Amino acid sequence: MEITSGQWMAQQQQAGRRLCLVLQGESEARGLLLATRTVAEYCSLYAETCVAELAADGPVILLLDHVNEPGLVGLLQNPLRNWGWLGSLPDDDLSDVTVHWRDRLVAGPTGRQALYRFHDNRTLARALVHLPAEDWPAFLGPLISVCYWQGERWRCGDNPAPGTYPVPDPAPWLEVPNPQSGAILQANILRYLLAEHSEALSQLAEFQDPRIWLEQVLEQARAWQWERPDQLEFLVVRRLVEATGDVVIRWQPMRGEVAEDHFQRVVEEWCRV
Greater model confidence, 53 or 114 = 53
| Same domain membership, residue 120 and residue 48 | yes
Output the pLDDT for position 159.
98
Q: What is the mean pLDDT of residues 37-56?
A: 91
Output the pLDDT for position 9.
97
| Total number of domains in the chain | 2
| Same domain membership, residue 267 and residue 167 | no
| Same domain membership, residue 109 and residue 156 | yes
Rounded (10°) CA dihedral 255, 260, 263, 267 = -120
| Same domain membership, residue 236 and residue 214 | yes
Q: What is the mean pLDDT of residues 166-183?
A: 80
Specify which residues 84 forms β-bridges with. 23
Output the pLDDT for position 72.
95
| Same domain membership, residue 205 and residue 122 | no
| Same domain membership, residue 223 and residue 170 | no
Question: What tens digit of pLDDT does each residue of 181-207 get?
Answer: 667 778 888 888 988 999 999 999 999
Q: Structural domain of residue 216, as residue ranges?
A: 181-272
Domain's final residue, options 175, 203, 229: 175
Read off the pLDDT band of 55 (50, 70, 90): confident
Output the pLDDT for position 89.
98
| Same domain membership, residue 89 and residue 38 | yes
Residue 226 gets the label, from left (phi > 0), alpha (psi -120 to 50) or beta, of beta
Per the omega criterion (within 30 degrees of 0), is the bond before 170 cis? yes
Which pTM was predicted?
Answer: 0.67
| Same domain membership, residue 150 and residue 73 | yes
| Same domain membership, residue 214 and residue 129 | no
Read off the pLDDT band of 151 (50, 70, 90): confident
| Same domain membership, residue 79 and residue 36 | yes
Domain's final residue, options 135, 158, 175: 175
| Same domain membership, residue 138 and residue 29 | yes
| Same domain membership, residue 147 and residue 28 | yes
Separation between Cα atoms, residue 174 and residue 110, nearest integer Å: 15
Greater model confidence, 184 or 142 = 142
Task: Give the chain's end-to-end CA distance (angstroms, integer).
Answer: 60
Domain's final residue, options 122, 149, 175: 175
The answer to whether residue 264 scores a pLDDT higher than 60 is yes
